[in-house]
Amino acid sequence: MSVPHKLVEVRDLKMHFPIRGGLLQRVVGAVKAVDGVSFDIYQGETLGLVGESGCGKSTCGRALLRLYEVTGGSILIEGKDIAEVNAEELRQMRPTMQMVFQDPQASLNPRMSVANIIAEPLDEHMKLSKSERQARIAELMDQVGLNRDFANRYPHEFSGGQRQRIGIARALALNPKFIVCDEPIAALDVSIQAQVVNLLEDLQDRLGLTYLFISHDLSMVRHIATRVAVMYLGKIVELAPRAALYSTPQHPYTQALLSAVPDPDPAIAANRHRQILTGDVPSPANPPKGCNFNTRCPKVMEICRQKDPEFREVSPGCFAACHLLNDDQNNKPGRVT
Amino acid sequence: MTEPVRANTAVVPPQPVRVAPAPRSQWWGVWDQFRTHKGALAGLGFFVFILLAVTLGPLLWTIDPTFIDIRARNQGPSLAHPFGTDQLGRDTLARMISGGRTSVSVGLMAMVLSLILGTLVGVLAGYFKRLDGLLMRFTDLFLALPLLPLLLVIILLFRDPLRAAFGPETGIFILIVGVIGITSWMQTARIVRGDVLALKEREFVLAARSIGTPNRRMITRHILPNVLSPIMVSATLGIANAIITESALSFLGLGFPSDFPTWGRLLFDSTDYLQQYPERVMWPGLAISLTVLSVNYIGDGLRDALDPRIRGR
């Protein structure tokens, strides 16, 4: 990775869902699921996107493929703004970006055979003869480690891990460059999780894929991601290379999140200081004034309640949004340089 | 699919590259499952028998259903008249055959019409949010109309122009099929809309959107196959409903002309003689109920057979 090439550039992405109320169903507010998110994804890397449930990570992933009409901001994929293009251009761009879904049971049409599911993108975007289509299906099934003889079976006949492989094969069908993995392992049991993650890594090596890996499993993200972004209440609070993020978390939220990761060694686990956040996540329909995290932050200051911290580069490659890390503040807890 | 086992080869040749098995048409699977449903198979057998009887029957049983033999009136079953004769001496078997042709075709056509209308309205209302309110209020409007007075008005208004345009029998056939069709699609539409609303939010629809499947293929590929079960059920109930509505119309004297036999008309005519000749009510009654029952069984079997989750169990 000598010259990192930006495959995806997201700037100030906003995804608000209107809340309707009253007799006439007028818009009375908005759920700010994603509220001003900016990041880049480089060619060939895996960007992990972590956060607690409801923080907007799935919405962010779906907005990236424009499965929702975004409220604001721009999403450049290979230099084209996907948030702006019209329906036909969008259709032309679909092959470059695909998605793997969370629930493999729900993301496969129960009435279609595996061959037809995998071939759906082929039918939509390529004109293949019958035998070419068959060959491509077989190739894809080999790639994800499915037995070719299962091509005529239906999704309900497979286990969770196999279903997820079908979903991955479908995502790979058009040779995409960029795949959004929306919690692809959350619905699988632990032994299968490892298989699927290894498969994803394998495919990345072989096909040079770029992933946005959405997960709430911090250890899994540590395993697969090149860089990690932490989201809280619709905003990215910290984005850093994996090693830096896990060893020296900058943002108080990241610190709290990492302290919650269980340690397999009981000796270490017993002596560990867990930082427990109090209170609940505020409603995304009515976020607090100032920093989104100020209601729960253990190191909250006066300025946090007034001003929203800027998301900026605090050290090379590391971005964070916190007043503690601004240069005029000299008390930098948790910062080891 | 099974490879011959080569047990004694010392040097195992590398496994030949197998291509994926050719896609077996899913209709074979459907048929295999359908065959395991005894009731459906019996229903299909009976329905085919009825269809053959009403289409090929007149070739074998050549008595004219309108031929009046006044001396042979009110006869019981005999070799010359296996089902007996009516009060004018017309052969009941011949009238059953000719009446069945009308009744079954009215049933099928009206069912198809109401199914198309209902599915179309239901899918459009469920899938396109913008059309939902409009189409559903339209459905409510139809549901709220009092059916029988509406039928009377429609028939009074359109009977004569249609008769003039297509001849008395075809004209009234079109009229009755149309009338039954456009007054019975609402249930289907409501059921289909509900299912489409739920399906639309499923992840596989989102997955298809991320692939770039356009709306029309989204509907035909993902939505319609998954709402097939409720459609099948309302289809089978629809046939029964149409046959019975046609009987009711004939019963009220609003259907086909009085000398034109249908099962409903036969039933109507026989009720006058219910006390003297009860068997005369039985034949059309039996034909109607058995046809309806067989169609319901077929629908039941078909619904199971079309669902891959049930198939192969």
Q: How confident is the model at residue B313 (pLDDT cuts 50, 70, 90)?
A: low
Q: What is the pLDDT of residues A260-279, one digit of tens each?
A: 887 778 887 777 777 778 87
Strands (E), A78-233: 80-81, 97-100, 178-182, 210-215, 227-232
- pLDDT of A216 above 80: yes
Q: Kindly determine whether residue B19 and residue A135, on different chains, have CB atoms separated by under 8 Å.
A: yes
Is residue B132 within 8 angstroms of chain A, CB to CB? no
For residue A313, the model assigns a pLDDT of 85
For residue B196, the model assigns a pLDDT of 92
Residue of A118, A152, A157 to mutate for B, most B C-beta atoms under 10 A: A152
CA distance B249 to chain A (A): 40
Give chain B's radius of gyration (CA, Å): 25
- H/E element holding B197? helix B186-200
- pLDDT of B205 above 70: yes
What are the chain A neighbours of B225 within 8 Å (beta carbons)? 109, 111-112
Identify the DSSP state of A312.
E
- pLDDT of A99 above 80: yes
For residue A143, the model assigns a pLDDT of 85
Q: How confident is the model at residue A328 (pLDDT cuts 50, 70, 90)?
A: low
For residue A29, the model assigns a pLDDT of 82
For residue B312, the model assigns a pLDDT of 56
Q: Name the residue range of residue A291's domain.
A: 262-337
Is residue A114 within 8 angstroms of chain B, CB to CB? no
Q: What is the pLDDT of residues B136-163, one digit of tens each?
A: 999 999 888 887 788 888 888 888 888 8
The mean pLDDT value of chain A amounts to: 84
- pLDDT of B302 above 80: yes
Q: What is the pLDDT of residues B44-73, one digit of tens each?
A: 999 999 888 888 877 777 777 777 777 777
Paired sense of beta strands A26-42 and A235-241, if any: unpaired
Q: Kindly determine whether residue A99 and residue B210, on different chains, have CB atoms separated by under 8 Å.
A: yes
Rounded to an integer, what distance in angstroms lies between the CA atom of residue A140 and that of residue A135? Answer: 9
Residue A186 domain flag: no
What are the chain A neighbours of B15 within 8 Å (beta carbons)? none
Contacts of B113 (CB under 8 A, 6+ apart): B177, B178, B180, B181, B182, B185
Rounded to an integer, what distance in angstroms lies between the CA atom of residue B265 and that of residue B179? Answer: 18
Interface of B with A in 10-39 (CB under 8 A): 18-24, 26
CA distance B212 to chain A (A): 5
Both tokens of B312, joined, read: 């192969």
Regarding an ipTM greater than 0.85, the answer is no
CATH fold label, B37-54+90-306: MetI-like fold (1.10.3720)
Mean pLDDT of all residues in B193-218: 88
Is residue A98 within 8 angstroms of chain B, CB to CB? yes
Count structural domains, chain A.
Answer: 1
Rounded to an integer, what distance in angstroms lies between the CA atom of residue A74 and that of residue A37? Answer: 10
pLDDT > 70 fraction of chain B, expressed in percent and rounded:
89
Residue A272 domain flag: yes
By CB atoms closer than 10 A (0-12, 13-18, 19+), residue A1 is exposed
Under the phi-then-psi rule, with left for phi > 0, alpha for psi from -120 to 50, and beta for the rest, what region is B59? alpha
- pLDDT of B185 above 60: yes
Q: Kindly determine whether residue B203 and residue A103, on different chains, have CB atoms separated by under 8 Å.
A: yes
Closest residue in chain A to residue B224, using alpha carbons only? A111
> Rounded to a whole number, what is the largest CA-CA distance in chain B?
92
Residue of A107, A111, A163 to mutate for B, most B C-beta atoms under 10 A: A111
The residues spanned by each domain of chain B are: 37-54+90-306
Q: Kindly determine whether residue A106 and residue B221, on different chains, have CB atoms separated by under 8 Å.
A: no
Q: Rounded to the nearest 5 degrees, what angle is found at the Cα of A253, between the Cα atoms of A249 and A254? A: 30
Rounded to an integer, what distance in angstroms lies between the CA atom of residue B225 and that of residue B249? Answer: 35
What are the chain B neighbours of A77 within 8 Å (beta carbons)? none
Is residue A149 within 8 angstroms of chain B, CB to CB? yes
Q: How confident is the model at residue A207 (pLDDT cuts 50, 70, 90)?
A: confident
Q: What's CA A44's distance to the chain center, in Å?
A: 15
For residue B45, the model assigns a pLDDT of 92
Is residue A107 within 8 angstroms of chain B, CB to CB? yes
Higher pLDDT: B237 or A207? It is A207
For residue A214, the model assigns a pLDDT of 92
For residue A258, the model assigns a pLDDT of 86
Contacts of B136 (CB under 8 A, 6+ apart): B125, B190, B193
CA dihedral (B205, B209, B213, B219) in degrees, to 10, reads: 30
Q: Kindly determine whether residue B221 and residue A112, on different chains, have CB atoms separated by under 8 Å.
A: yes
Is residue B198 within 8 angstroms of chain A, CB to CB? no
Q: Kindly determine whether residue A99 and residue B207, on different chains, have CB atoms separated by under 8 Å.
A: yes
Is residue A133 within 8 angstroms of chain B, CB to CB? no
Is residue A67 within 8 angstroms of chain B, CB to CB? yes
Nearest alpha carbon to residue A144 among A171, A115, A161, A165:
A165
What are the chain B neighbours of A149 within 8 Å (beta carbons)? 1, 18, 20-21
Amino acid at site B299: G
At residue A9, the 3 state secondary structure works out as strand
Is residue A96 within 8 angstroms of chain B, CB to CB? no
Cβ-contact A64, A212 below 8 angstroms: yes
Q: How confident is the model at residue B193 (pLDDT cuts 50, 70, 90)?
A: very high
Closest residue in chain B to residue A173, using alpha carbons only? B211
Is residue B146 within 8 angstroms of chain A, CB to CB? no
Is residue A168 within 8 angstroms of chain B, CB to CB? no
Q: Kindly determine whether residue B207 and residue A167, on different chains, have CB atoms separated by under 8 Å.
A: yes
Mean pLDDT of all residues in A168-184: 88
Q: Kindly determine whether residue B1 and residue A112, on different chains, have CB atoms separated by under 8 Å.
A: no
Residue of B32, B132, B206 to mutate for A, most A C-beta atoms under 10 A: B206
Is residue A111 within 8 angstroms of chain B, CB to CB? yes
Residue of B210, B226, B227, B313 to mutate for A, most A C-beta atoms under 10 A: B210
The region of weakest confidence among A310-314, B37-41, B240-244 is B240-244
Mean pLDDT of all residues in A114-129: 87
Nearest alpha carbon to residue A64 among A114, A7, A125, A130:
A7
Mean pLDDT of all residues in B194-222: 88
Is residue B208 within 8 angstroms of chain A, CB to CB? yes
- pLDDT of B3 above 50: no
